[in-house]
Amino acid sequence: MQPNPPQPGFPQSGQPTPSGPPPWGQTARPKPRANAAAAMIAGILALLAAVMLVWFALYNVIVATESDGRPAGITVQNMVSGIVSAAVLVIAGGFTFARRIPGAWTLFGLCAFYVVAVFVGAPLVWGTPLGAQVKWLFSFDDSDSTAMALTIILAVLTAITAAIAASVKSYDTKS
């Protein structure tokens, strides 16, 4: 008795299906992971950027407690956005450090978004001229401008290394 000839469009007997478990007795093909060195560097840079955001938020807490009465709307926005952004960066940095490709692309997107939000979004929302925003960011005269300048620098570096980590895939079977 002869086996049935292979049917077009169906996988051969013993060959793995395009999406599904491997055939009996064979090991699964390893999933691609982010580049190890770039993922570790991106995760560390994300953690440093998160520390700068916490520094920025804590400075605004000090400013809010020193002011008389109720804190200004921009101070409350700075406190909340600083803490939330730091938490999100730490989570995305953790997934990048774990060499997950979607985590690295998410970290890239968050860092790029944060840089654009600080340079373009904040002046549009609060009506600040772009030149005044850039001068405040890179003047390094106050603690909050220093923290934001370092955040921007670290966010650009993190975005670059996260994009490298996500695009240079690794198929190693270790760890």
pLDDT tens profile 133-148: 889 888 888 888 899 9
Q: What's the DSSP call for residue 11?
A: P
Amino acid 149: pLDDT = 93
Mean pLDDT in residue range 101-115: 95
pLDDT tens track for 115-135:
999 888 888 888 889 898 889
| Count of domains observed in the chain | 1
CB half-sphere exposure, 24, CA atoms < 13 A: 1
pLDDT tens track for 151-162:
999 999 999 999
User: In which band, very low, low, confident or very high, does the pLDDT at 16 lie, cut at 50, 70 and 90?
Assistant: low
User: In which band, very low, low, confident or very high, does the pLDDT at 11 lie, cut at 50, 70 and 90?
Assistant: low
In a domain, 109, yes or no: yes
In a domain, 157, yes or no: yes
User: In which band, very low, low, confident or very high, does the pLDDT at 32 lie, cut at 50, 70 and 90?
Assistant: confident
Percent of the chain with pLDDT over 70: 84
**Six-digit token string for 7:** 């049917």
Q: Is residue 14 pLDDT above 60, yes or no?
A: no
Mean pLDDT in residue range 2-25: 63
Secondary structure E strands in the chain: 33-34, 169-170
Amino acid 174: pLDDT = 58
In a domain, 19, yes or no: no
**What is the radius of gyration, based on Cα positions, of the chain?**
24
Contact in structure between 156 and 49 (CB atoms under 8 Å): no
Tell me which residue range forms the domain holding 114.
Answer: 33-170
In this structure, the number of other CB atoms found within 10 A of the CB of residue 117 comes to 14
